[in-house]
């Protein structure tokens, strides 16, 4: 039984008013994130521990709680928007503009590409949870993907955000973000990459 199944059973059999979020049930939408015994997880992908009688469920940390396990994700997406989270193509790119398969660039991008915006990393980051002005691991991971992409023309503005007061220097490299990412991404490595890119620019 997954944690989401447990919540659905509670809603069906005990408390129809309990508040929680989900959509895809297959680790694609990132809406079901919560904390299970303190660890940020996707409820749809995380089995209920079988070795004890009780578990503790809390909402994502660092975001305002609306009700029960439902948080307001607007602050997370505001930070995401700061890094211009979409490709800004260079002038004169001809279609199809592809990153060369099997290249170092392709491998670098692919390793950080599958973010579903679940905010588990944000929830696990004491810096993001404790202050409203840290861009946060997910947004910086997204910035890294685009800075590494040779088709993109907005690296400078992203590096300016990474270099700003809420940027990479706020990271203490505790690696909580990378430890919990359900997609196996490594936002801490992305932050390291941005630090190095900033020094080169």
Is residue 60 a contact point for ligand SF4 (CB under 6 A)?
no
Q: Which of 116, 155, 162, 194 binds ligand SF4 (CB under 6 A)?
A: 116
The site partner of 70 among ligand FES, ligand SF4, none (C-beta below 5 to 8 Å per kind) is: none
Is residue 112 a contact point for ligand FES (CB under 6 A)?
no
Stretch that binds ligand FES, among 29-37, 47-55, 81-89, 135-143 (CB under 6 A): 29-37
Is residue 10 a contact point for ligand FES (CB under 6 A)?
no
- Dist. CA 154–CA 160, nearest whole Å: 10
Secondary structure element (H or E) that encloses residue 57, with its range = strand 57-58
User: Do 139 and 182 form a contact (C-beta atoms < 8 A)?
Assistant: no
Size of interface with ligand SF4, in residues (CB under 6 A):
15
Is residue 191 a contact point for ligand SF4 (CB under 6 A)?
no
Is residue 120 a contact point for ligand SF4 (CB under 6 A)?
yes
Those residues with Cβ within 8 angstroms of residue 89's Cβ, 6 or more apart along the chain or in another chain: 97, 151, 152, 153
Shortest spacing between CB 87 and ligand SF4, in angstroms: 17
- Dist. CA 188–CA 137, nearest whole Å: 7
C-alpha 78, offset from chain centre: 13
- Dist. CA 151–CA 168, nearest whole Å: 23
C-alpha 131, offset from chain centre: 17
Contact footprint for ligand FES (CB under 6 A): 22-25, 27-32, 42, 44
Contact footprint for ligand SF4 (CB under 6 A): 30, 115-121, 137-138, 141, 181, 183, 185, 187
């Amino acid at each position: 039984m997954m944690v989401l199944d447990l919540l659905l059973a509670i809603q069906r059999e005990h408390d129809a008013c309990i508040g929680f979020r989900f959509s895809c049930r297959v680790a694609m939408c990132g809406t079901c994130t919560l904390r299970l015994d303190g660890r940020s997880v996707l409820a749809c992908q995380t089995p209920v521990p079988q070795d004890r009688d009780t578990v503790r469920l809390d909402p994502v940390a660092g975001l305002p709680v609306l009700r029960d396990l439902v948080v307001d994700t607007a602050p997370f997406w505001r930070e995401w928007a700061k890094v211009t989270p979409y490709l800004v193509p260079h002038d004169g790119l001809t279609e199809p503009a592809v990153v060369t398969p099997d290249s170092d660039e392709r491998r670098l991008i692919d390793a950080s590409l599958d973010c579903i915006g679940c905010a588990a990393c944000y929830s696990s980051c004491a810096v993001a949870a404790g202050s409203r002005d840290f861009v946060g691991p997910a947004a910086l991971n997204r910035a890294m993907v685009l800075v590494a992409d040779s088709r993109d023309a907005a690296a400078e503005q992203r590096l300016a955000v990474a270099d700003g007061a809420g940027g990479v220097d706020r990271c203490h490299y505790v690696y909580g973000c990378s430890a919990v990412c359900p997609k196996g991404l490594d936002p801490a490595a992305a932050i390291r990459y941005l630090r190095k890119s900033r020094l080169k620019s």
